[in-house]
Structure 1
Amino acid sequence: MLWVPLLLVAYVVAGTGCVRACRAALAAARPHGTATGPSGGTGLTVCEAAYLAGGPLRVADLTLVSMHRAHRLLLARTGWATVLDAGGAGDAWERAVLEAVGPEGQSPVPAVRPVVAAADSVRRLARDLVARGLAVSEECLKEVEAGMRAVRAGFLSTLLLGTTAALLVPGSERAPVVAAFSLPLLGSGLCLLIGRIEVHPYTRWASPAGQRLLSGLSPADPLTAFAVRGPAALEPELRAALRD
């Protein structure tokens, strides 16, 4: 019965990971404010839709594409952004792009995107969406990620402990050992599978209320379609320009 302590450890590790992931998922789904659209309405602006569907990087990409189509910025399929018109104040997101590109007026797109995504304007947008109950807070996102890492660790640990336990007993006695370890292994495996399904694609950023608003958006407008669907809604040249 040397394998019994290994079984107990497997149950503890797998169970702890699953409980942590479930608690984090419930906290992320719990509303943290009153679900409203801009200025108390029921709609979403295109930037809000971009954040809920793809997070800060989607907002950065949306701003780049918007400036490209307004002929204020050139996005080359080689992956470079070139400022064509730096005049005019623009909105906060456009100013963040111009600052990220720099005074030389040209910069690689992969270097611009994370700088814009971390800009104060994008952070304010995120805080506003969280306060309105449409987005999941950064703390909840981190806890969900930590929970999924714990589940993954529990699954791998259970697999390792089960293999070790099976090798400790004679071949004729391995059936009950495998059966005993199958429950924590199955539980953590199902938790991992559900987590991969549920946290994709925009459930990572949008709360259930935000997801309902996203599902009601019309893809007729090209920028709205890109905000919700991502690069799949763009022409090949722009997809190539935004590729890391």
Structure 2
Amino acid sequence: MWVCFALVAWAAALLSCGRLVLVGSVAAAQPEAEPARVRGARELTLYEAAFLAGGPRRVVDVTLVSLARERRLLLAHTGWATVVEPEGRDDVERAVIAAAGPGGQSTIPAIRTAACAADALRDLDDGLAASGLAVPAPIRSAVRAAVRHVRIAGVVVLGSGITALALRAPEQEPIAGWFVLPLILVCGCLAIARLEVGEYTRWATPDGRGLLATLDEADSLLTGLAVRGPAALPDPEMRAALAR
């Protein structure tokens, strides 16, 4: 009986680790989108900085706060947003306003979910990826999924080992080694992935993070929000609204 559990453990470890290695090699083989000197010479817009630091959700948060500061949208500390002026000045603002629904009022999590799926946010993602500042969405998703599967494999290996040990007859030979080895394989793969392919699970590439580091967060409230998130907001009610 324990052999079946050992086969499951080894299969889960080998398949998941093999997939992660394959995905990592494909990600590392991607050609540069544009020369590094060109990337380093450009200036980030507020939306671009927010996306590189926190993804589309951070872009939506920056837009919500920007609209609220101009009294074009009301943010309640209870986590609701109410549109006052239904006209957006750019595609991102229009996407966020549209995400509030036809009634112009919705919860902030619902607005985030709807706005993050809008074309304006996808275009922002694609543009940053094309310039080499953001990790391309397909690679980001593939690497994250592969890492998640390795973690699941670790749980499978551990569960199989515990079950096999519980069912083992006292007179049988020790079998722990058959499960310790695949567990070591999974843990080692995760450790290497953190060092080698960890950057592909982030929003920004190393060049993108380099540009983020040049931004002066004290320059404006919105820049601080874009780079550091809601914790940079001095207004506790606004922080509470975005935290819900």
What TM-score range do you get, normalising by the shorter chain?
0.7 to 0.9
Contact 2:143-2:201 at 8 Å conserved across structures: no
Give the match for residue 159 of structure 1: 158
1:91 counterpart residue number: 90
Match of 2:110 in 1: 111
Partner of 1:213: 211
How far apart are 1:124 and its partner, in Å? 0.8
CA distance in 2, matches of 1:36, 1:46: 21
Q: Which residue of 2 aligns with 1:57?
A: 57
Contact 1:53–1:201 (CA under 8 A) maintained in structure 2: no
Deviations 1:132-166 (A, max 9, x none): 11112221122123212321232122223323443
The amino acid that maps onto 2:209 is: Q
- For 2:210, the aligned partner's letter is R
Greater shift, 103-112 or 54-63, is seen at 103-112
| Structure 2 gaps, min length 5 | none
Structure 1 residue 128: Cα displacement: 0.5
Query: Match of 1:78?
Result: 78
Deviation per residue, 1:9-46 (Å, 9 max, x gap): 43332122123223334544545512669998433111
TM-score between the two structures when normalised by the length of structure 1 = 0.81
Q: Aligned ranges for residues 177-216 of structure 1 at < 5 Å? A: 177-192=175-190, 203-216=201-214
* Matching of residues 10-49 of structure 1 within 5 Å: 10-28=9-27, 30=30, 32-34=32-34, 41-49=41-49
Structure 2 SS opposite 1:173: coil
Q: Distance in 1 between matches of 2:75 and 2:216?
A: 26
Task: Find the residue that maps to 1:211 and give its secondary structure.
Answer: helix
Classify 1:154/1:161 alpha carbon distance in 2 versus 1 (closer, same or farther; 3 Å).
same
Residue aligned with 1:82, SS: strand
Distance in 2 (CA, whole Å) between partners of 1:62 and 1:241 is: 13
In 2: Cα distance, 1:8 partner to 1:102 partner? 52
In 1, Cα distance between equivalents of 2:149 and 2:209: 26
Q: Is the 8 A contact 1:38 1:45 kept in 2?
A: no
With normalisation by structure 2, the TM-score equals 0.81
**Aligned in 2, Cα 1:25/1:39: closer, same or farther, shift over 3 Å?**
closer
Partner of 2:229: 230
The structural deviation recorded for 1:47 is: 0.5
Shift, 1:213, TM fit? 2.1
22-31 or 208-217: bigger deviation: 22-31
Take 1:74 and 1:199, find their aligned partners in 2: how far apart are those partners?
Answer: 41
Residues 199-208 or 89-98, more deviating: 199-208
Closer/same/farther in 2, CA of residues 98 and 157 from structure 1, 3 Å limit: closer
Residues 47, 172 of structure 1: CA spacing in aligned structure 2 closer, same or farther, 3 A cutoff?
same
- Cα offset for 1:238? 1.1
> Aligned equivalents of 2:200 and 2:4: distance in 1?
41
**Aligned letter for 1:34?**
E
Give, in angstroms, the shift of residue 77 of structure 1. Answer: 0.9
Looking at structure 1, the residues matched to 162 and 39 of structure 2 have their Cα atoms a distance apart, in angstroms, of 58
- Counterpart residue type for residue 210 of structure 1: G
What letter matches 2:206 in structure 1? P
